[in-house]
Amino acid sequence: MKEKVKRVVSEFNSELKLKGFRAFQIEQDGSETRVYSRKEFYKICLTTGKSKIHYSDKSFEQEGTVLFFGNPHIPYSWETISTTYKGYTILFSEEFFKNSERSESLQQSSFFKIGGTPVLKITEEQRQFLNTIFQKMIAEQESDYIYKDELIRNYISLIIHESLKLEPAEDFDQNKNAASRLSSVFLELLERQFPIETTDQSLQLKSAQDFAKNLNVHVNYLNRAVKEVTGKSTTAHITERILTEAKALLQHTDWNISEIAFALGFDYPTYFNNFFKKQTGTNPKAFRLTEV
C-alpha cells in the first residue's frame, strides 16, 4: 500500500498564522525568507541591493534601497540580482491589522492596489529612519509588553503614512498586450492557491466571478482575455487545476473525502463527488483505491 503523507506547513508559516505578524532582518534570517513560500500575508520589505520585482503585470528592476509593498491578493515574485543583499521584512495578516483604528489606511493605500505602484525609491536618510522603525518592530515582537500588538500596528501605520509622502518608482516594463497581462495575472493567482496543505484551509477563489472581483475587472472581460490568450475558458482552467489538486490529495494524504471536499471549496461532499465523477468518470473513493 502506498504510504499516505500529510501535507504540513513549515514551522515558520504556522507561527506566522498563529500570531498574525512577523518581522525579521533579511541578512540574519535569510533561511526564513526561503521557507516562507505561500503569500498569504501583507508584506513590507526594505532592501538594499539590486533586484527585479514582478508584481501583477509590471516588472521593476531596482538598484539601491527600495521599499516594497506586497498584497496577498496580487501575484508577485522577487529576483535577487546582486551578490550582497540586506534589509528588513515584515509580514502581517489582514486580521492583525484590522484591529487597528487606522486600518483604512491599509485598504485605501495605493501601494496595495492592483493598479498601484508597490515600489518606492529610498534615500540614505530615509533608509536610516525606516531602519529604526523595522528594528523597533523586531524588538517589540519578542517583548512581554501587554499592548505590543497595538504598538506594532502603530509602527506599520507610520511606515505607510511616511511612504505616502515619497515618490513612487516609475521605471517599470509592461507587456504590450492587455489581454496577455490579465491572463498572466489570472493564471498566477489561480496557481498561488495551491498546494493545499491543511484540512482547515478552504479554497477561496473558485469561479470566474471570484477571480474577476479579486482582479477588479468585469467577468466577461476576464473570460475574453483568458480565452484569447490560452484558447481555454477561465472556468476550464479553474476546473482543471482543482481536479489536479483533488487527485493529489486523494493519492498523497489520508484525509477523508469530506475533508478534501471542504479544502477544495465544496460546501458538501456530494458536490465534490459529482464534480469529480463528471470530470473523471469515477468517484473519489474509487479513484483513491485504484491509486493505492
Question: How would you write 218-253 as a 3-class SS string?
Answer: CHHHHHHHHHHHHCCCHHHHHHHHHHHHHHHHHHHC
Q: What is the pLDDT of residue 175?
A: 45
Looking at the structure, give the CATH architecture of the domain made up of residues 11-166.
Sandwich (2.60)
Query: Is a pLDDT exceeding 50 seen at residue 255?
Result: yes
The span from the CA of 30 to the CA of 267, in Å, is 39
User: Where does CATH 1.10.10.60 sit in the chain?
Assistant: 178-289
* Cα 21 to Cα 58, 59, 87, 149, distances in angstroms: 27, 27, 17, 9
Contact 247, 194 (CB under 8 A): no
Task: For 109-153, write each residue's pLDDT tens digit.
Answer: 667 665 567 888 899 999 999 999 999 999 999 999 999 999 999
pTM comes to 0.58
Phi and psi (nearest 5°) for 67? -115, 125
Instruction: Locate all alpha helices (DSSP H) within the chain, ordered by sequence.
Output: 11-19, 30-35, 94-98, 104-108, 124-141, 148-164, 178-191, 208-215, 219-230, 234-252, 257-263, 269-280, 284-291
The span from the CA of 137 to the CA of 155, in Å, is 7
Superfamily of domain 178-289: Homeodomain-like (1.10.10.60)
